Structure formats: structure tokens, C-alpha cells
Amino acid sequence: MDREGAWQLIEQERLSLAELLSSLTPAEWEHPSLCTGWRVRDVAAHVALAPQPPSVWSMLVEAMRARGSFDQLNHDVSVRHANRPGADLVAELRTHAASRRLPAVTNYRNILFDILVHGQDIAIPLGRQRVMPLDAAVAGVDRVWHAGWPFWARRRLAGFHLSATDVEWSAGSGWHEVRGPVSALLLLLTGRAAALDQLSGDGLAELSTRLSPVTNQP
């Protein structure tokens, strides 16, 4: 997927996520997301902050507060930003949906799979349906599989052969077979155990032991 196509999908996903969030009850805003230690509102705040990157000085201050832990920094900044009405977070998502500003530590390829996965982090625990565009999901699994940090998918899933059942995509050369929709494979590669319900193959039993909770790392 080229840069322009990715940015257009990012805008669409931000707007559709804002639409979902605008329908939530107060209790749903406080519901745990797929990420351990993150409420729905915390993940929403994290997504809303992506096109509003802080200054370098602010990041240095936050890094000192988090004692050098990027995951802790990410969590703490998002939780503080989440301490506002849900309607304000929805408004931010809509206002900045078309923004192409980026935090210094990332790029548009990461932002694309980021918004796809976080939409599921919110929707799945709430029992909401949120369909991933296939071309975006393919771009996402390719990116996560080859990127290394922070998910280390190739290392964590060594010994597995992954194949999508709805598009032409596969990865890995292991002896354990795992099959499923590309959207579920993206969740798997980013460490979401919720993907297991959508997957099949003789590698599932072994696979469940490789997944640990996604803590402080949407």
C-alpha cells in the first residue's frame, strides 16, 4: 500500500472509531480494553494523541517520570489525556482525522496498523463489530512481521507457519500451522490473545503458550 492510500485509510479509521466511541455508555468508556491495565478511554486517548505529538522537551520530561521505560511513558501519557469527557476525545479524533503529523518515533506504516489494532482493542471487549479493510490489514501484518520492536513477531512466533484464509498472505516456515482471517493474524502478531478464537490449525495449542498479556503497550 502506498503512502497516500495509507493516509486515506488512517483518516477513515479515525472517523469510524470516533463514530463507535460516540455511541458508548459511561460504563463502556470505563470497560477494560484488550490491553491489560488500559481502559477503553485510555486506548481512545492514545489514538487521539497520535496526530498531536508533544515537543521533544515534553517527551524528555515524561521519560524521566517513567524512569526510561517507553511502555510506561506511553501508558501514563495516555491515561492522563483520558481524564476528560469522552465527547472531547471523540471531537479530537474527528478534528485531527486527516492530520498527517507524526510522533518523532514512528511513521505512517506504524500508524496504519496502530489504528486498526486499537479499534479492535476497544470493540472486541465491548462486543462490537469492527471490520478491518483487507488491504490495510495486509499492510499491517507485513509491517509487524518484518519490523521487530516492539512486538518481535518473527522471534516470538518462530516454529509457526501462518497463512491467511481470506487473502494471499503467509509467513514463517515452521512445522506448526496456524490459519485464519488476516485481521486475526494482525491481532496475533501484536500479541492479542483474543485472536485465538478466530484461528485454526495444529499450532493453536502451542500458540496459546506464546501469548502474554499486552501490558502498557497499545
SS (H, E, C) 53-73: CCCHHHHHHHHHHCCCCHHHH
Inform me whether the pLDDT recorded for 6 exceeds 70: yes
More confident residue, 107 or 72: 107
Task: Give the residue carrying C-alpha cell 481502559.
Answer: 39
In a domain, 35, yes or no: yes
Burial of 53 (0-12, 13-18, 19+ CB in 10 A): middle
Domain count, the chain: 2
Query: What is the identity of the amino acid at 199?
Result: L
pLDDT recorded at residue 181: 98
In this predicted model, what pLDDT tens digit does every residue of 28-52 receive, in sequence order?
999 999 999 999 999 999 999 999 8
Q: What is the residue-wise DSSP string for 201-213?
A: STTHHHHHTT---
- How does residue 216 score in pLDDT terms, banded at 50, 70 and 90? very low
In this predicted model, what pLDDT tens digit does every residue of 152-162 receive, in sequence order?
999 999 999 99
Inform me whether the pLDDT recorded for 217 exceeds 90: no
Give yes or no: residues 8 and 81 share one domain. Answer: yes
- How far is Cα 23 from Cα 95, in angstroms, rounded to an integer? 18
- How far is Cα 91 from Cα 15, in angstroms, rounded to an integer? 10
In a domain, 70, yes or no: yes
Give yes or no: residues 82 and 166 share one domain. Answer: no
In a domain, 214, yes or no: no
- How does residue 68 score in pLDDT terms, banded at 50, 70 and 90? low
Give yes or no: residues 60 and 166 share one domain. Answer: no
Q: Which residue range(s) make up the domain with 97?
A: 3-126
CATH code: domain of residue 201: 3.30.1050
